[in-house]
Amino acid sequence: MCAATTTRGVAGDLPVELTAKDFKGLVEPDWCPGCGDFGVLNALQRACAELNIPPHEIVTVSGIGCSSNFPGYFNSYGMHTLHGRSLAVATGLKMANHELTVIVTGGDGDGYGIGGNHFIHTARRNVDLTYLVMNNQIYGLTTGQASPTSCMDMRTKSTPFGNVERPLNPLTMAIMAGATFVARGFSGDPKGLAELMKKAVQHRGFSLVDIFSPCVTFNHDNDTPFYRSRIKRLADEGHDPSDWKSACEKAMVWDDETIYTGLFFEDEDPPTLGDLEPVLQEGGPLAFRELGLSKEQSDKILSRMQ
């Protein structure tokens, strides 16, 4: 686990106004120049600063992939976990300490491919965390194979004659699975993306923000100009996020003229997993309970780890 690299933003018990720089990690990103993930990182730094959440109260969790190096570039506690397993680890963190702001970061392959099972069940359990998926419609880290969101007929290293598999729709998938906050952003719109992230973090329940984050090296079909010529904001059309049917209909629009971004669906009523779990109701979060071991027992366990 990576510890928060600075205590800036906290001065005793006195609140301090944070800036985006307070969330800058000690490690510089090694993404390709022009990668959309830079925009996602900048947007989250801005969002957390505007929400004034101290870095030590945040945990970023990731799986495997280009975007999953995120915790090393963001100043907070963090974990770089296994491929497709970030949501499972993040669920454990949130259940252990409800006071943490848990943000999961990853890509479309990590989240919708190998991690698809965890994605569905984390949504239906309504775990109180935020999932930021940098969706570049390609496996970038392994140098350009088709991912679960790659378009039909797309030529990649694994589909040299064109992709024959229909792409899944993460937004409708999340809504049908029970996610209570479903949004889509674009890394080329840092201000709009930061606003979506702020709403997602503030939402009490499972929040998905699927983010178009173009891969400049291995996906030349879905590049920044592709999105800029098609993206339309839901807010400009008066969309009602409480209408799940309309949310699904808007999420299925994908053509040469229109791809929507913004908040598709939000339900503020359902309780979270932490609200419903009986064990947590009886004694509160695990992090604040007395350890159920004697000193002799704990010393014995620790000695075996040396």
2 pLDDT higher than 60: no
Query: For position 15, what pLDDT does the model report?
Result: 58
Q: What is the pLDDT of residues 215-272, one digit of tens each?
A: 999 999 999 999 999 999 999 999 999 999 999 999 999 999 999 999 999 998 899 9
CA distance 294 to 138: 51
CB 38 within 8 Å of CB 24: no
Tell me which DSSP letter residue 159 carries.
Answer: -
CA distance 37 to 41: 6
- CA-based R_g, the chain, Å: 20
Q: Is 205 left (phi over 0), alpha (psi -120 to 50) or beta?
A: left
Q: What is the pLDDT of residues 168-183, one digit of tens each?
A: 999 999 999 999 999 9
Pairing relation of β-strands 231-233 and 259-266?
A: parallel
Query: For position 34, what pLDDT does the model report?
Result: 95
- Closest among 259, 257, 276 to 95, alpha carbons compared: 276
CA distance 206 to 244: 15
Could you tell me the pTM of the whole model?
Answer: 0.90
Q: Say how many C-beta atoms besides its own lie within 10 A of residue 229's C-beta.
A: 10
CATH topology of domain 10-304: Rossmann fold (3.40.50)
**pLDDT classification of 288: cutoffs 50, 70, 90:** confident
Q: Where are the domains of the chain?
A: 10-304
Query: For position 10, what pLDDT does the model report?
Result: 38
